[in-house]
Homo-oligomer: A and B are copies of this chain.
Amino acid sequence: MKLSIEKNKFLNAISVVSKAISNKPSISTSGCVLLDATKGYIRIFANNEDMAIQGIVEGEIIEEGMVGVDARLLNDIVRKIPDGNISIFFNEKEDDDNIKVVIESNNIKFDISGKNGYLFNDLPEIERDKRLTISQYALKDIIRRTIFCTSVSAVNKVLEGELLVIKNGILRVEAIEQSRVAIRQIEINNSETDERVIIKAASLNELIKIISDDTEAMIDMYFMNDNVVFEFDDYIIVMRLIEGNFFDSSNLKYNDYITKVEVNKKNLFDCLDRTTLIAKEGDKRSVKFIISNNNLNVSVVSQIGSINENIEIIKEGEDMEINFNPKFFIDALKAIDDENVVFYLIGKKFPCFIRKEDTYNYVILPVLG
């Protein structure tokens, strides 16, 4: 194998594909990306148990072949080589278990060890009949504003995922944790399919690091039986779907609320941010909301000290006293861009709904005490 690739294009592709490397030491290709020049183009590939990424990178194939190399070392080497073309090669006749890969640029020559390319699995065959095309920005945005509400490691694997529902020209994303739910929806123009899939949050979290903030740049999603495929620019990302029953959010009804509060988002956010100085997590303290007339009184008392604040609100309905984990409220407010937010209370032992019709619904259970 012998390739010549421009440094910055190479580096970009390595860094995108590296998001799918496996870190399980038991896997022979752990930590490695595959460089494959056997198909007439140069592709970089990595996969783990949840996702696979392939990137096509421009360059010259001087001699065909493929080899796996440590992704991090390759990234560091390419990054620290000056701009220009990088030559990467090995001698096919070498012992398969001990491939010496040479990375060269002008007066710089690195040797590193490589792994036989046949050790890598490949992408599955991709079926492109069920498709959703959406802007990379919109996809990134809706994931970013819900993903904080997923669990990293749950007994029920469904809780490690986000639910994506595509129906009637709407994409809805739902995430749930023990004491809170995040739901967002956007209109989509360009869907050939109705779908309901659960995708691992950790994989989506890597996706949103890769895709662009550009509202003009599009991404195609394809829905297969066991996988969802993301295709954009020169990349294909395949994620395994999580099987199981997701929480039914249609049970979350706010219509019977007894108190409705409208408040300036920044005022509430800054106040709750201050309460975290007194209600430290190790302390398991909650903040107390006392809603009376057009005033929201927020207070905490702990070993550290106390805080007491008053915020102006517009209230409809009854006065109310209710306790929350301030972090849950803060996370929801962070995910909202509006100047004012409205929340609905059903009772001091029932969920609070921070919601905007047809846009978002952040549901938080109160702390009982």
Chain A residues within CB distance 8 Å of chain B: 73, 76-77, 80-82, 107-113, 270-271, 273-274, 277-278, 304-311
Contact = CB atoms under 8 A, between A and B. Distances in A.
A73 B112 contact: no
Contacts of A270: 80, 82
A91 to B, nearest CB: 15
A78 to B, nearest CB: 11
- The complex is assembled from copies of this chain, and their number is 2
A111 B73 CA distance: 52
Contacts of A110: 274, 277-278, 305-307
Contact of A73 (B113, B277, B306, B308): B277
A305 B113 contact: yes
A307 B273 CA distance: 50
Contacts of A308: 108-109
B108 A76 contact: no
B111 A306 contact: yes
Nearest to A101: B305
Contacts of A80: 270, 273-274, 277
A301 to B, nearest CB: 8
A31 B109 CA distance: 52
23 contacts: A73-B304, A73-B305, A76-B277, A77-B274, A77-B277, A80-B270, A80-B273, A80-B274, A107-B309, A107-B310, A108-B271, A108-B307, A108-B308, A109-B307, A109-B308, A110-B277, A110-B278, A110-B305, A110-B307, A111-B305, A111-B307, A112-B305, A113-B305
A274 B111 CA distance: 12
A273 to B, nearest CB: 6
